[in-house]
């Protein structure tokens, strides 16, 4: 499952990020999206893009195009 497929109000753990695109992977890692990190999906924009997420105390907005490059697993 990717970050773009997770429903709002869900919590997930990052498994991998942009393994085939090193520049994007570096950017995502710099934003805090790296393997093992827990992410809360807060909301989607009215048109569905971007997605607002929380990593620890940091709030981020990420485009669905980039979110499709982040493999995650849902946490209960």
Question: What's the pLDDT band for 73 if we cut at 50, 70, 90?
Answer: very high
The CA distances from residue 16 to 20, 31, 38, 47, 61, in Å, are 10, 14, 12, 26, 18
Q: What is the pLDDT of residues 4-60, one digit of tens each?
A: 999 988 999 999 988 888 898 898 899 889 899 999 999 999 888 899 999 999 999
Q: Which residues pair with 16 in a beta bridge?
A: 71
Q: What is the pTM of this model?
A: 0.86
Distance CA 35, CA 74 (A): 13
Topology of the domain comprising 3-75: SH3 type barrels. (2.30.30)
In degrees and rounded to multiples of 5, residue 5 shows phi and psi of -95, -10
């Amino acid at each position: 499952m990717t970050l773009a497929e997770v429903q709002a109000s869900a919590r997930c753990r990052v498994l991998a990020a942009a393994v085939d695109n090193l520049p994007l992977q570096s950017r995502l890692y710099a934003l805090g999206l790296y393997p093992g990190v827990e992410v809360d999906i807060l909301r989607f924009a009215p048109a569905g893009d971007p997605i607002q997420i929380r990593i620890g105390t940091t709030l981020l907005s990420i485009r669905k195009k980039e979110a499709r490059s982040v493999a995650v697993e849902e946490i209960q």
